[in-house]
Amino acid sequence: MSAVTFYTYPSCTSCRKTKKWLSAHSVDVQERHLFRETPTRQELLNLLSMTSEGLDELLATRSRTFKSLNVSVDEMPLSAVVDLIIEEPKLLRRPILTDGESLVVGYNLEKLRSLTKKKQAMKYTG
């Protein structure tokens, strides 16, 4: 199992709460600044493949950035949406955490606990 990648933005309240929680639970992460180290096309496709709700799970549709685009992503091909996210990473909800198999979007304690338990079990059995 790979390490946990933590896509974050320091000014984001949910990111700070998640980082504090991860630290308190001794979860090792590879932290990536979401806007300086934007996920690549392949990373975005991998993240999308782990969602249960597709783009709706990853896009920050209530953000000013999204609203200012004045586009319907439902009518766009996936490749165009991915290009748009790469150009404008503020379109992504945050934080985003993944171990390559599981995905946590936003500050979601239940999913964070699940990810932590899985990582701890791997430490003890692996």
Q: Among all chains, which residue has been given the structure tokens 């699940």?
A: 114
For the chain, first and last CA: distance in Å?
10
- SS3 of residue 68 by DSSP: helix
Under 8 Å between Cβ of 103 and 4:
no
Residue-level length of the chain:
126
Segments in the chain forming alpha helices (H): 13-24, 41-50, 55-58, 64-69, 78-87, 109-125
**Active-site residue 12, yes or no?**
yes
Q: Name the active-site residue from 9, 12, 17, 116.
A: 12
- Report the catalytic residues: 12
